[in-house]
Amino acid sequence: MNVSIDASYKSLNKHHEELCGDKVEILKTENSSIMILADGMGSGVKANILATLTSKILGTMFLNGAGIDDCVETIVKTLPVCQVRQVAYSTFSILQISHNGEAYLVEFDNPCCVFIRDGKLTNLPFKERTIENKTIRECRFQAILNDCFILMSDGVIHAGVGQLLNFGWTWQSMADYALAAAKETLSSLRLAAVLTKACDDLYMQIPGDDTTVAVARITNMKVLNLFTGPPLKKEDDELLIHDFMNAPGKRIICGGTSANIVSRILDIPIITSLNYTDPALPPTATMKNMDLVTEGVLTLSRALALLKHYLDGIVDEFFFEELDKENGGSQVAKLIIEDCSVLNLYVGRAINEAHQNPGLPFDLSIRMHLVEQIRDTAKKMGKEVILKYY
Distance between CA atoms of residues 312 and 11, nearest Å = 12
Residue 210 contacts residue 238 (beta carbons within 8 Å): no
Could you give the C-alpha distances from 77 to 61, 72, 88, in angstroms and in order? 14, 9, 12
Helix spans in the chain (H): 44-63, 68-78, 154-157, 171-184, 188-202, 237-246, 256-266, 297-311, 317-323, 328-338, 366-380
Distance between CA atoms of residues 97 and 214, nearest Å = 14
C-alpha triplet 269, 274, 279: angle, nearest 5°: 130
Residue 190 contacts residue 308 (beta carbons within 8 Å): no
Phi-psi region of 59 (alpha: psi -120 to 50; beta: other; left: phi over 0): alpha
Q: Which of 370, 379, 305 is nearest to 342 (CA)?
A: 379
Q: Domain locations in the chain?
A: 3-220, 223-389
pTM listed for this prediction: 0.89
CATH superfamily of 3-220: PPM-type phosphatase domain (3.60.40.10)
Kindly give the confidence (pLDDT) of every residue in the chain, 390 residues in length, as a single tens digit, with 9 standing for 90 and above. 667 899 999 999 999 999 999 999 999 888 889 999 999 988 899 899 999 999 999 999 988 888 888 988 898 778 766 666 566 578 999 999 998 889 999 999 999 999 999 999 999 999 999 988 888 999 999 999 999 999 999 999 988 776 655 566 889 999 999 999 999 988 999 999 999 999 999 999 999 999 999 999 999 899 999 999 999 999 999 999 999 999 999 999 999 999 999 999 999 999 998 878 888 999 999 999 999 999 999 999 999 999 999 988 888 889 999 999 999 999 999 999 999 999 999 999 987 665 555 555 544 478 899 999 999 999 999 899 999 999
Q: Which of 6, 22, 15 is nearest to 213 (CA)?
A: 22
Could you give the C-alpha distances from 217 to 117, 202, 377, in angstroms and in order? 10, 25, 21
Distance between CA atoms of residues 93 and 343, nearest Å = 30
28: Cβ–Cβ under 8 A, 6 or more apart, which residues?
A: 34, 382
Backbone angles phi, psi at 234, to 5 degrees: -60, -30
Distance between CA atoms of residues 284 and 346, nearest Å = 19
Strand partners, 120: 117
Residue type, 291: D
